[in-house]
Amino acid sequence: MIPLHKLGQLPRSQRLRKIGKIFAEAEYRMSLGELPSANGLSYLGELAKLLSRDEAFSPAVVSALRALKIDPEAEEKELRRGLNTVRHILLAETGKQTADWDFIDHEGRLDPAKRQPFPGMKIYLEDIRSPFNVGAMFRTAESFGAERIYLSPLCADPTHPRAERTAMGCTDIIPWERLSESAGLEDLEGPFFALETGGTKLDSFHFPKQAIMIVGSEELGVSPQSLARADNSLGRVSIPVYGAKGSLNVSVAFGIALQAWTSALVLHETF
C-alpha cells in the first residue's frame, strides 16, 4: 500500500492515476470473489476521503465521494458500487473515456451446468468485424438460450481480449465453431432465416422451433448468398425503426430479435 502522505505529495494527475489503479485492482479482485481485508477496506476508504478533499473536482463529484461507504461495515453490494463509482470518476477525470473494456465482470466464472438452451436455436454470425460486437452477441446469445453459434471465416475472433471482456465469460460456455471457407452455410442443416431489412416485421414473424438465424456484418448486412438461402427457407425478419438514423447497431438488433424468438418459444412452449 502506498502511504497516504506520499500520494498526497504527488502531482495531481499522477496521484489520480495511481489511486485509479488501486481501485480497479480491488474491484477486479472482488469480481473473482476475493473480498478485501479489513485493513484493505480501511485504506480504500481513506483514499476516497483523500479524493473528496480535492478541490479540483466538481461539487457533484465531491458530494458523491463523501457519500460513499467504503469500510469494513459496508455490505458487499454497497462496497462494489463504491469501488466502481470511484474508478469511473477517476477515468473521467484523467481524460480516459469509458469504453466496454473498462467494465469489470462481476459474475466471475460461469457455470455451464446452469445453461438452459433451447434445442435447435442456432446463430450464424457472418463477417461481424468488431470484437466488441462479437462479444456482446455471445453474451446475448447465452442469456437468451441459444444452443450454438457458427462463425464465418472472416468473423472477428471470440477469443480476442476485447471480445472476451465484452462477453463476460460467455465465450467459454456456449458452443461455437468457425466454418471453413469451403464450408459455410452449404454444410449446415437449416431451416434458415435472416435478420435483415425488407422482411417480415418482428411482431408478425413466425419464429420457428428450430432454425439458424443469420446475422450479417455491421456495414453490409447479410451477404446475397446467405440471403438467398434464407429467402428460400423461412425468410427474413426485420425490426421497424422510426428515427432519423433508420438503423441499429448489429449487436442491439440481434438482442431485440433473439429476445423475440425466445419469447415466442416460451409462449408456445415449443422447446
* Tens digit of pLDDT at every position of the chain (271 positions): 889 889 989 999 999 989 988 998 998 888 888 888 999 999 999 999 999 999 999 898 998 899 888 888 888 888 988 898 898 888 888 876 555 556 665 555 677 888 889 999 999 999 999 999 999 999 999 999 999 999 998 899 999 988 998 998 899 999 999 998 766 788 898 899 999 999 999 999 999 999 999 999 998 899 999 999 999 999 999 999 999 888 899 999 999 999 999 999 998 764 4
Instruction: List, in order, residues 6 or more apart from 61 with CB less than 8 Å away.
Output: 89, 93
Start-end ranges of CATH 3.40.1280.10 in the chain? 112-268
- Start-to-end CA distance of the chain, whole Å, equals 54
Overall CATH class of domain 112-268: alpha beta
* Model pLDDT, residue 262: 96
Instruction: List, in order, residues 6 or more apart from 219 with CB less than 8 Å away.
Output: 129
Grid coordinates representing 247? Answer: 438503423
Q: Cα angle at 183 between 178 and 186, to 5 degrees?
A: 115
Q: What pTM does this model have?
A: 0.72
* Model pLDDT, residue 270: 47
Residue 236 backbone phi and psi in degrees, to 5: -125, 150
* Model pLDDT, residue 94: 80
Q: How far is CA 128 from the centre of its chain?
A: 15
